[in-house]
Amino acid sequence: MRRLRTAFIAGCLALGAVPALAQDKATIERLNDAWTAAFNKGDAAAVAALYTEDAHVLPPGADMVKGRSAIEAFWRQAAQRMGEAKLTTLDVQPLGPRAAREIGTVTLKTKSQPPQEISGKYAVVWRKVGGKWKLATDIWNTNK
């Protein structure tokens, strides 16, 4: 048992990034859950708080949005037209100790009648600011 534990610890030390990556992925998924929970109840301020102060959002069909307050206004307007957002993380790539790139898929439903499902894919650059992971760059598009 002790030998197994030693081997496990040695393995972790040798692999180095693997446990950190798993932890970062779990953290990002937890933050995505917070993102969708906030968005789906129309709480744009809580969505915007998940971004860095100087974040960039690049939405399809609209100009780039810079900075947390503009991002809040953007998501407030979007939440009037869409809801039921779901985010699925496909890949997290660490970029040093304070940055990571996430790729995932998103589905949303329009609030029109009948509701339409929108599905797309996204890339997010996360940055660790003051010990907390925040969305720094957020861009997406649709497959069709």
Q: Which of 23, 103, 115, 116 binds a second copy (CB under 8 A)?
A: 103
The region of 23-31, 35-43, 62-70, 111-119 touching a second copy under the rule CB under 8 A is 62-70
β-strand pairing of 99-110 with 82-94:
antiparallel
Q: Which of 98, 107, 111, 119 binds a second copy (CB under 8 A)?
A: 98
Q: Which is nearer to a second copy, 35 or 122 (CB)?
A: 122
Dihedral (Cα; 24, 28, 29, 33), 10-degree rounding = 150
Under the criterion CB under 8 A, does residue 140 sit at the interface with a second copy?
yes
Least CB distance from residue 100 to a second copy, whole Å? Answer: 9
CB-based burial label for 50 (10 Å; 0-12, 13-18, 19+): buried
Under the criterion CB under 8 A, does residue 25 sit at the interface with a second copy?
no
Length of the chain counted residue by residue = 144
Under the criterion CB under 8 A, does residue 127 sit at the interface with a second copy?
yes
Closest by CA position to 89, among listed 143, 30, 49? 30
Q: What angle do CA 92, 96, 100 make, to 5 degrees?
A: 30
Q: Which of 16, 96, 130, 131 binds a second copy (CB under 8 A)?
A: 96
Please give the residue ranges that form the binding site for a second copy (CB under 8 A).
Answer: 56, 58-64, 91, 93, 95-99, 101, 103, 121-123, 125, 127, 136-137, 139-144
